[in-house]
């Protein structure tokens, strides 16, 4: 019974469905800080330096005393999971991220490679019985008091996946595409409009802005970006391109920073275009991950390579607005 309570206490299930999105409450520490790591495009059974990245994540996670890990998708290569009992779940997740600091909750979105497998299995609560760290839903919210993280299922927005014939995708509970994506955006917009968080962070698998192999995702530029700008979202985090990069939203007065962390295993050396764009702050075409440190008034982002070396840092401060009653 005690063990069961400990497992249940490791994550807080839905506290609200008012916006249509499940919300997970993640209490911050007594010191008032929120710290987490972000990694994407990783699940290769430890190969392509996945284990080396995991080792450094464990060290940085201990140093920062992180609260949780965010995964930006493409969790299991090459074609997702075959079912709830697919050994790839243990071989690419449980047996790789073994460091003590990484035993916190993992909040995860799906990537396009995950959609090539049994998506329903990857979303199944059964996987939490195998490894209680694992929380993977299509779209949901992490409520960390002064910060809210909105996890968004971006794969169904990309039209080419619905017409290409090279791969097969698991579109169960997604079709019709137009209705599904409209509902995702409606739920997100409702949640953002109701949010009173000091920091608003949106996470999806696909990039809005990127100079990597895939580049900008036009469907997200057209449909998602206007919503992020309208509700003063601070950070958009993604994977998909196997690199690390930081781009600012210079086309408007919005504060959005586009942060790619898709270098959890196989990287694409030299696959880059448009490095001379004026909104580009940082690009690295090797393996690594990102850390995020937040207080009610300050955010600091850091990127690390496969050796744990800090490659890039960025920070911003906000003033607290006190309401007089």
- The response to whether 74 counts as a known ligand-binding position is yes
- The response to whether 77 counts as a known ligand-binding position is yes
Give the full edge-to-edge strand order of the sheet including 22-25.
Answer: 22-25, 140-144, 147-151, 199-203, 235-238, 257-261, 244-248, 280-284
- The response to whether 322 counts as a known ligand-binding position is no
- The response to whether 169 counts as a known ligand-binding position is no
What does the alpha-carbon distance between residue 199 and residue 190 come to, in Å, rounded to a whole number? 16
- The response to whether 238 counts as a known ligand-binding position is no
Q: In sequence order, which residues have a C-beta less than 8 Å from that of residue 211 and are 6 or more positions away? A: 245, 247, 272, 273, 274, 275, 277, 280, 283
Residue 214 appears among annotated catalytic residues: yes
- The response to whether 249 counts as a known ligand-binding position is no
DSSP 159-211: GGGGT-SSS----TTT-SHHHHHHHHHHHHHHHHHH---SEEEEE-SS-SS--
Which of 214, 298, 312, 321 is flagged as catalytic?
Answer: 214
Of 155, 83, 76, which Cα lies nearest the Cα of 118? 83
- The response to whether 65 counts as a known ligand-binding position is no
Known binding positions: 41, 74, 77, 112, 205, 240, 242
Which of the residues are catalytic?
214
Known binding positions for Fe cation: 41, 74, 77, 112, 205, 240, 242
């Amino acid at each position: 019974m005690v063990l069961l309570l400990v497992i249940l206490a490791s994550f807080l299930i839905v506290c609200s469905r008012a916006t249509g999105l499940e919300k997970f409450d993640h209490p911050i520490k007594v010191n008032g800080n929120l710290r987490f790591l972000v990694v994407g495009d990783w699940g290769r059974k430890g190969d392509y330096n996945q284990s080396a990245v995991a080792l450094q994540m464990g060290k940085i996670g201990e140093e920062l005393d992180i609260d949780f890990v965010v995964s930006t998708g493409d969790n299991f290569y090459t074609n997702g999971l075959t079912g709830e009992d697919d050994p790839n779940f243990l071989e690419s997740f449980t047996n790789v991220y073994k460091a003590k600091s990484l035993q916190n909750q993992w909040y995860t979105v799906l990537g396009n490679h995950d959609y090539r497998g049994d998506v329903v299995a990857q979303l199944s609560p059964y996987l939490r019985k195998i490894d209680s760290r694992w929380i993977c839903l299509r779209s949901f919210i992490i409520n960390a008091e002064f910060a809210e993280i909105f996890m968004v299922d971006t794969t169904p927005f990309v039209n080419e996946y619905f017409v290409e014939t090279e791969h097969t995708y698991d579109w169960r509970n997604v079709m019709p595409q137009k209705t599904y994506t409209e509902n995702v955006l409606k739920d997100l917009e409702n949640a953002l409009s109701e949010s009173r968080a000091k920091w608003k962070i949106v996470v999806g698998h696909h990039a809005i802005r990127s100079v990597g192999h895939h580049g900008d995702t036009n469907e997200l530029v057209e449909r998602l970006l206007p919503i992020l700008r309208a509700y003063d979202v601070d950070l958009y985090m993604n994977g998909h391109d196997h690199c690390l990069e930081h781009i600012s939203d210079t086309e408007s007065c919005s504060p959005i920073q586009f942060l790619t962390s898709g270098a959890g295993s196989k990287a694409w050396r030299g696959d880059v275009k448009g490095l001379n764009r004026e909104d580009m702050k940082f690009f690295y075409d090797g393996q690594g991950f990102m850390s995020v440190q937040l207080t009610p008034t300050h955010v600091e982002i850091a990127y690390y390579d496969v050796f744990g070396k800090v490659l890039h840092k960025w920070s911003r401060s906000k003033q607290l607005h006190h309401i007089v009653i």
